[in-house]
Amino acid sequence: MQPKFNPNKIKVMYLRCTGGKVGATSAPFPKIGPHGLSPQKIRHQSLARELSGIIKEILGTAQSVGCNVDSCHPHDIIDDINSGAAECPVS
């Protein structure tokens, strides 16, 4: 039996972006994902020109799945980036 869901529990997630060329078919795990798609096919290409645009895309994804970032709503951080209150590093 699974433990009960605790809405106040804080979970830390680490995201890893994979890319590059697809390995040989003789590799032990050439496909990933439930549909057997190769990493090349599920890779998302960002249309952002600056790092702040990429950060906004990630925050938008966090907002759509209902995550908080540093105990703040992701859209509040996006508003801070747009107004200049929060600075994004230059890539």
Cα–Cα–Cα angle for 72, 77, 78, nearest 5°? 140
**12, 17, 29, 63, 72 from 59: Cα distances, Å:** 15, 15, 31, 6, 11
Q: In total, how many domains does the chain have?
A: 1
Which of these, 55, 74, 71, lies nearest to 63 by C-alpha position?
74
Pick the more confident residue, 45 or 58: 58
**In one letter, which amino acid is 2?**
Q
Structure confidence at residue 5 (pLDDT): 78
Structure confidence at residue 45 (pLDDT): 73
Q: Is residue 34 part of a domain?
A: no
pLDDT, tens digit (0-9, with 9 covering 90-100), for 8-55: 888 777 766 666 555 555 555 555 555 555 555 555 677 788 888 888
Q: Is residue 52 part of a domain?
A: yes
Using alpha carbons only, how large is the chain's radius of gyration in Å?
A: 17
Residue 66 sits in which domain range? 46-83
Which pLDDT band, with edges at 50, 70 and 90, does 73 fall under? very high
Could you tell me the pTM of the whole model?
0.52
Reduced to 3 states (helix: H, G, I; strand: E, B; else coil), residue 42 is: helix
